[in-house]
Structure 1
Amino acid sequence: MLVLLPILATICALSVPLILGKPRYLAKIATTKNQTKKKPTISIIVPARNEGANIPGLLESLKPEWDSIHEAIIVDDASTDSTARLAVEGGALVLASKSLPDGWNGKPWACYQGARSATGDWLLFLDADVRLHRGAIEKLGHLINSGNTNTAYSLYPHHTVARPYEQLSAYFNALMVAGVSAFGYGTASGQNPALFGQTLLLTKSLYMENEGHAAVKDKVLENFHFAALLKSNGAHCACYLGKGLISMRMFPTGFNELWDSWKKGFVSGAAKVEKNTLILSSIWITAGMLSIVSLCFIGSSYAPQHYSFCVLIGYMSNALACAWAFRIAGTFSVLNALFFGVALIFYQTLFFKALIDKSSGKKTQWKGRMVD
């Protein structure tokens, strides 16, 4: 019976291609010709609370295609650092957020105010840690030129991993990509995807027709809830991977930022993932754990003949699955995939901590505010 552990680990690793086997990249969108006389305008909206470390880099990344942007609006959400000053110096319009109303979370409130003040035909919401590379606005323009004004486009910024502790995000980032159900097979094939929270593009009219962020004002992971709302009202969602054109550096300040960020709304986010995608993602996690457990019995008197070979097959199957998934999600090291047990145990530890805290009603502090 012991040999079943590595065999199941091998079989379960096949769940990864089912949820991430068909990645679609923004960079590969074909050029379209727009014959319309008036070119649609793009307003960029960035909710920013104490983002002084990120705003200069974001605005600098927009400069190569600045002429193609109608306006860049930084919504200063009661920052106590240099966010507003640096935004002005970078050429952006700064909108000082009004006091947070009861029942609203900070990010939806900032996004909503920015959208209401925007004068462009299309709204491009960006997180402050996102960077657009040369050609990104042009590719987004191809989406706009398709004429599909009833679709919200969401783009995953490739995660730039710079320091060793950031490698611990591997499973989280990969499962974030898988969680929108857009890059796999069957129900995970992108026919009915959710939205990413870092980058969202849609017309202002579609946004306002669906009440925008006012409809998801109290949600931590507002992207999942807004996607569900759009689809319930007859609109569509489409997701792409931004590798080569859009990137992000999520946790430059240290391990605590990484821990708190993933813990924030983590359990709630899992609950919003499409059922089959959630099952397949859980099978992938199970595959890794089975592979790790099977290693513990190598050399045991209970181990049958050829057990070590089966364990090797199971382990390498999971390492290859991780290499594929991690490569899609960010610039994670090959060693991270080879020693996937480290990132997996961290993932499991944080998941159960988040689950315990949520069940006990404990909240996480994020950017000076308490969130569920």
Structure 2
Amino acid sequence: MTAVEIIKLAIGFAAVIIGVLMFWSLPVPVSSSKSATRLPFLSIIIPARNEEGRILPLLQSLREQRFTQFEILVVDDDSTDSTAAVAESFGAKVLQNNGAGKSSACWYGAEQAQGSWLLFLDADTRFESADGLSHLLHFYQEKGARGVTALQPFHTVERLYEYISVVFNIIVVVGMNLFTIWGSRFRTAGSFGPCILCNRDDYFLSGGHKKIEGAIMDDLALGEAFLEQDLPVRCLGGKGIISLRMYPEGVRSLIEGWCKSFAVGSKSTHPIVMLMVILWISGSFIAAAALISSLIAWNPASILFSGILYILYAIQTAWFAGRIGNFKMAVFPFYPILFLFFVGIYLYSFIRVNIFHSVNWKGRKIKV
């Protein structure tokens, strides 16, 4: 092997180690409590815009919960489908919000809520078991019932194109700054968005969604609003508690969804974490390029070491993916395709945000 090949392989193996440091763990809420008798009344607030095809599993999972001391407020954000009718059929109270956007819908729901605690859920989430809600609530209670506890739902995959989200899902979690080997040493970037639990007093003290209205990354901005009031923000994985299926409508919806948030959200990632992310992604391409070049040159030693590096990257990416979704192992031998898609959409998002200053989402053009 040449000196250049050795250096490239050394960088690739170093990037694998950096990946371990970058995504050391993803804790899930664990509660020691068994009884739900001491939990306060809860208001579940679900902002929804044209969600008739996705909200039903969530409402069904809420109906199946053993803990029942809650109300469901579905804030209809100017839907043109049967979202409101579906929600009402499950006994939810439907509030109309006249198309003012997600943050406005959440704020309006919070104003109308009767509960001491508020749980904001995206319409495409669902609880995984009948005890999922009580586990989350007890965890929050055991942590002092202050500030925010936010979960990143476990990503369920049904169609092949949905696998191209896997690197995005990994980076979204890592980009919160909390899951490196250094734990909470770095300040959190905000909160996860699909599942946010807080108490009523802290929510209104922080200014809630009213304060962050207009923010593209409302989850990050809401977490920041709580942090400004010295309120804790805890972010955890949702495996075993809550799940979601992202962008079931197709590839176009997937691209628009990630474009809407990713280039903006990356600005909140700590520089050290961002550097590790860049090195890990770069290493994935180095590993693939090294294997291809060694096969072309047919250098046995180079094939051996680059092959080991390539397999390590495939296994590591699958390992990380298993923490955040039910991605099948068979896809990861082709991991360079997943990383290429990530880079392409990130660049597209960067151009839309920084040059055109607008993104598209659910039929709306959002200025950034």
Q: Same fold (TM over 0.5)?
A: yes
Question: What is the SS of the residue equivalent to 2:106?
Answer: helix
Map 1:3-22 onto structure 2 (within 5 A).
Answer: 3-22=6-25
Aligned residues: 363
Amino acid corresponding to residue 7 of structure 2 in structure 1:
L
Aligned-residue offset at 1:66: 6.3
Q: Is 2:288 the partner of 1:313?
A: no
Q: Is the 8 A contact 1:75 1:110 kept in 2?
A: yes
Aligned-residue offset at 1:115: 0.8
Amino acid corresponding to residue 88 of structure 1 in structure 2:
E
**Counterparts of 2:32 and 2:173 in 1: how far apart (Å)?**
22
Name the counterpart of 1:361: 356
Amino acid corresponding to residue 317 of structure 1 in structure 2:
L
Q: Assess, with a 3 A threshold, how the Cα gap between structure 1 residues 265 and 141 changes in structure 2: closer, same or farther.
A: closer
Q: Assess, with a 3 A threshold, how the Cα gap between structure 1 residues 38 and 244 changes in structure 2: closer, same or farther.
A: closer
Out of 267, 284, 291, the position equivalent to 2:287 is: 291
Map 1:206-355 onto structure 2 (within 5 A).
Answer: 206-301=202-297, 306-355=301-350
1:170-223 C-alpha deviation (Å, 9 max, x unpaired): 100111111212222215668746311110000011000011011111111111
Question: What is the SS of the residue equivalent to 1:230?
Answer: helix
Q: Is the 8 A contact 1:19 1:188 kept in 2?
A: no
Q: Percent identity?
A: 28
**Counterparts of 1:262 and 1:233 in 2: how far apart (Å)?**
30
**Counterparts of 1:332 and 1:17 in 2: how far apart (Å)?**
19
Aligned-residue offset at 1:139: 0.3
Q: Is the 8 A contact 2:47 2:122 kept in 1?
A: yes
The answer to which of 132-141 and 187-196 deviates more is: 187-196
Map 1:50-129 onto structure 2 (within 5 A).
Answer: 50-65=50-65, 67-98=67-98, 100=100, 106-129=101-124
**Counterparts of 2:300 and 2:66 in 1: how far apart (Å)?**
65
Amino acid corresponding to residue 115 of structure 1 in structure 2:
A
Name the counterpart of 2:32: 30
RMSD: 2.0
1:32-72 C-alpha deviation (Å, 9 max, x unpaired): 779xx963111100000000111221100111126524201
The answer to which of 11-20 and 344-353 deviates more is: 11-20
Amino acid corresponding to residue 328 of structure 1 in structure 2:
R
The answer to which of 222-231 and 190-199 deviates more is: 190-199
Name the counterpart of 1:48: 48
**How high is the TM-score relative to the length of structure 1?**
0.92
Deviant stretches of 4+, over 6 Å: none
Q: Is the 8 A contact 1:10 1:318 kept in 2?
A: no
Q: Is the 8 A contact 1:322 1:340 kept in 2?
A: yes
1:283-308 C-alpha deviation (Å, 9 max, x unpaired): 1111101112212311455x866111
Aligned-residue offset at 1:341: 0.6
Aligned-residue offset at 1:84: 0.5
Question: What is the SS of the residue equivalent to 1:263?
Answer: helix
**How high is the TM-score relative to the length of structure 2?**
0.93
Q: Structure 2, unaligned stretches of length 5 or more?
A: none
Name the counterpart of 1:198: 194
Amino acid corresponding to residue 72 of structure 1 in structure 2:
I
Question: What is the SS of the residue equivalent to 2:64?
Answer: helix
Amino acid corresponding to residue 19 of structure 2 in structure 1:
V
Name the counterpart of 2:126: 131
**Counterparts of 2:153 and 2:186 in 1: how far apart (Å)?**
17
Aligned-residue offset at 1:145: 2.7
Q: Is 2:181 the partner of 1:179?
A: no
Q: Is the 8 A contact 1:10 1:315 kept in 2?
A: no
1:271-327 C-alpha deviation (Å, 9 max, x unpaired): 1112222221111111101112212311455x8661111211211221121011111
Aligned-residue offset at 1:143: 2.0
Bigger relative contact order, structure 1 or 2 (CA pairs below 8 A, ≥6 apart)? 1
**Counterparts of 1:278 and 1:61 in 2: how far apart (Å)?**
36
Q: Assess, with a 3 A threshold, how the Cα gap between structure 1 residues 191 and 267 changes in structure 2: closer, same or farther.
A: closer
Q: Is the 8 A contact 2:189 2:268 kept in 1?
A: no
Q: Is the 8 A contact 1:9 1:318 kept in 2?
A: no
**Counterparts of 1:224 and 1:278 in 2: how far apart (Å)?**
16
